[in-house]
Amino acid sequence: MRTQVAIIGGGPAGLLLSHLLHLQGIDSVVLESRDRGYVERRQRAGMLEQGTTDVLRESGAGERLDREGLVHHGLELRFGGAGHRIPLTDLTGRTVTVYAQTEIVKDLVAKRLADGGDVRFETEVIGLDASAPSVTFRDTAGEVHTLECDYIAGCDGFHGVSRPAVPGLRTFSREYPFAWLGILADVPPSTEELIYANHDRGFALHSLRSPQVSRLYLQVPPDEDIAAWPDARIWEELAARFATDDGWKLHEGPITDKSITPMRSFVAEPMRHDRLFLAGDAAHIVPPTGAKGLNLAVSDVIVLARALTERYASGSDTLLDAYSSTCLRRVWRAEHFSYWMTTLLHVDPAADGFALRLQRSHLDYVASSEAAKTMLAENYTGLPIG
C-alpha cells in the first residue's frame, strides 16, 4: 500500500491539505480515527480570516461558504457600560467570516470523496516512521496495514500520535486561570457583529452561528462544574456582562449545547522531523479569544502544500526545509495576539486594584487610538501567509 503523502487526521487541516495536493496532481491518503459522523458534528470555532476564506474559494471548496457564511466588517469591544466598534474593513481592507468548522469539514469531506479521494475513517494509527516514511494503522476490521509514502503530515491534533514521534522537541506553554463556558442557542443573534465584553464579573463573548443560532461564552473558573450552570443562570450572567447604559437587550432562547473549555497556549518546535511535518493543533494551541486556532491550521497546510508542490514539480527541497521556520513566525505572532486579547479582556482572579486599573486604561486606549485599532484589526483579519 503506497501513496505520496500520508495525512494523519481528518479534521479541517488534514482534509484541506489533501484537497490542495489533489489540485496539484499529488496523491494522498487521509487516516482519521473517528467515524465520519463524529468528525462532521464536532463543534469548534468558526471565525475565518480573509486568507482562509480566500483559499477555500480559490480551491473550489467555498460555494456553500459564500452562500451561508456571515461576512463581518467590524467587531465591538464592550466595557464600562458602552460599546466601541473596531471597523476591521475600513482599517485593513479585509473582512472576517463566521462559518462553523463543522461546515468546513462537511464541505471538504464531500469534495474529497467526489474527487475520488482516499479518506479512511475509524482508522487507528499505531505507528509511524519518519525516516523511511510509512504509517502503520488498524482498519475497521481490526487488520493491521502499513502505508508507505514519501512524506507524512501530522494533522491529528494536540492528543495525536504525530507530535510524540518528533525527537528533541522544545515545548512552550501557558495555562490561564479561567475557562470558557460556551453555549449554542436556538435564538437569532442579538448583534450583527461579534461583541467582546469586559466586565467586573468576567469576560463574555457574543458570537453567531447563523441568522437563527447564537454562540455565546462566559468566563468561568477552570475547575468549574457545568452542572452548576442551569440555563436560567447562564442567561442571567450573560445579560449582566453585556449590559450597557443605553439599555441594550440580549435575546434568550433554548440552549442546545453547553460545554466548558480550558484555556492554554502551547507551541512545539520544530514542526518537522525528517519527512514528518506537524500542522495545526499537533504543533500549537492558542486561547480562543483571538479566533486563531483554525486559521493557523489552514496557514500551516497552505505552506506545506506549496512546499510539497515545489518538491514534486522541480525536485527542490527549499520550501520544505523552510517549513518549520516559515510557519513558526506566524504561529508566534498569533500566539502573542491571542495572549494579548485574552489578558486585555478577561478578569484575572488574582489581579489587584492596580492591575485592574491598568487593564481599563489599556481598553480605553485601544478603543480611542487609531493606531491601536489598526493593530487589532490587522491581526484579527489575518496577516500574510508564508
Q: Which three cell numbers stand for residue 153?
A: 503530515
* Catalytic site residue from 288, 323, 346, 373: 288
Cβ–Cβ < 8 Å for 363, 77:
yes
CA–CA distance, 52 with 91 (Å, rounded to integer): 19
CA–CA distance, 356 with 251 (Å, rounded to integer): 30
Map residue 145 onto helix, strand or coil. Answer: strand
177 catalytically annotated: no
Cβ–Cβ < 8 Å for 155, 167:
no
Give kind and range of the element (H or E) at residue 5.
strand 5-8
Cβ–Cβ < 8 Å for 335, 265:
yes
249 catalytically annotated: no
CA–CA distance, 286 with 263 (Å, rounded to integer): 8
Cβ–Cβ < 8 Å for 7, 150:
no
196 catalytically annotated: yes
Q: Which three cell numbers stand for residue 88?
A: 476591521
Q: Which three cell numbers stand for residue 103?
A: 461546515
Name the residue type at position 351.
A
* Catalytic site residue from 111, 206, 292, 373: 292
* Catalytic site residue from 99, 151, 176, 196: 196
312 catalytically annotated: no
Give kind and range of the element (H or E) at residue 131.
none
Helices then strands, counting H and E runs in the chain, come out as 12, 20
* Catalytic site residue from 72, 199, 284, 373: 72
Dmax over CA atoms of the chain, in Å, equals: 66
Contacts of residue 202, Cβ cutoff 8 Å, sequence gap at least 6 = 178, 218, 219, 220, 241, 346, 347
384 catalytically annotated: no
Strand runs (DSSP E) across 110-220, as ranges?
Answer: 118-120, 124-129, 134-138, 144-148, 151-154, 170-185, 195-197, 204-210, 213-220
* Catalytic site residue from 99, 151, 217, 380: 380
The catalytic site residues sit at 72, 196, 288, 292, 380
